Amino acid sequence: MFRLPLVAALIGLACSVPAMAQEPQDYLGVPGPISLGGEDYVLSWSSNPQPGYYKQEYLPQGSTPEMYDSMVIVEFLVSDMALTDVVAAQMNMINQRKATDPIANMAVFDNQERGELLLDFILSAKDDAGEYILEWNGYRYAEAELDGQDGSLLFAVSERSYGNDNAEAFMRDLREFKAKRSLDLTSADLPQLR
């Protein structure tokens, strides 16, 4: 998801850095576009970094991964781990990040009726000019199956702000903004893996 060196340092735990730009491959049977919150997102990058782990990123038409404002992510991991353990691993990485990131924060919501978990978190970094880059993420986790193999599905939305002035507005509006985007995410149909 992050391709600039400063941004790669920002949230390496939630993202990947491809070696070179190439036509994305649809590993999951989710070619897009994906509609979320009234906006369409097209497949822009994909990876199979290890056996049984697939990542696909979707951007609004005309957006670039280097400076995106909004991104949708679909990932699948072949695993017999409980969703709570998958989320706990991500939470552990965010907790470790708190030592160096004064903005890092998170909350988890359990939708027992659907058997899903939502991890809501925010992270920050500074660019070469000392300006803030803020990123809010809503990670929706569910159990899924791909090619007869059980695992964990991640359906996520990531939103960014660049520069100190924008960061101030981003933080000021965060409560209402993330409530709306979380609702967009949780009310959308989960991607059907094929």
pLDDT of 21 higher than 90:
no
Query: Dihedral, CA atoms, 106, 188, 135, 17, nearest 10 degrees?
Result: 110
pLDDT digits 0-9 by tens, 89-106: 999 999 999 999 999 999
Between CA 184 and CA 37 the distance in angstroms is 5
CATH of domain 5-187: 3.40.1000
Contact 111, 87 (CB under 8 A): no
Residue 189 backbone dihedrals phi, psi, to 5 degrees: -70, 140
What does the pLDDT look like over 111-161, one tens digit per residue?
999 999 999 999 999 999 999 999 999 999 999 999 999 999 999 999 999
Domain ranges in the chain? 5-187
How is the beta sheet containing 39-50 ordered, strand by strand? 34-36, 39-50, 53-60, 70-78, 149-162, 132-146, 116-126, 105-111
- Residues 1-21: what's their mean pLDDT? 36
